[in-house]
Amino acid sequence: MDNKRDFTRFEYPTDSSHSPSDFFISVPELSDEPLHPEDFSTGGFKLNLPNCPRIGDKCTCTINLYDITLSGLAATVVHIFENRSDPPTWSVGLSIEIDDNERNHLSSLMMAFIRDEK
């Protein structure tokens, strides 16, 4: 399968010393709770949701990474995978629209997060 991603994707480090409040995403249209991405890049992220949206659904998200908040980002559901769990959950890929300056800033924050830096 060809990798069609424009941006390097990282798995959320579950074995790091980060606090859950260091990196979370709010998507009110999809969840009432803050979410931790399963994986992420400066182009989007994958979230685990209790409800299944539709491909193409539009939403607004806020990324909180360390003490930086990027809010009002337009996002689109681009991938859905039903997890085999009880109760069922869905891994949902979101693509985000972000200007180049914010993307560069987000990239440096994500790299620091991956390297377990503050």
Over the stretch 67-89, which tens digit does the pLDDT of each residue have? Answer: 889 999 999 999 999 999 899 99
The predicted structure's pLDDT at residue 7:
64
| Cβ-based neighbour number of residue 73 at 10 Å | 20
* DSSP characters over 42-82: TTEEEEEESS---TT-EEEEEEEETTEEEEEEEEEEEEEEE
Other C-beta atoms closer than 10 Å to the C-beta of 114 total 15
**Domain residue ranges of the chain, discontinuous segments joined by +:** 16-114
Cα-flanking dihedrals φ and ψ of residue 62, to 5°? -125, 125
Handedness of CA 75, 80, 81, 84 (dihedral sign): positive
On the question of pLDDT at 39 being above 50, the answer is yes
pLDDT of the residue at 96? 94
CATH topology of domain 16-114: Thrombin, subunit H (2.40.10)
Question: Taking the model in full, what pTM does it have?
Answer: 0.83
Tokens of 107: 């990239």
On the question of a cis peptide bond just before residue 50, with omega within 30 degrees of 0, the verdict is no
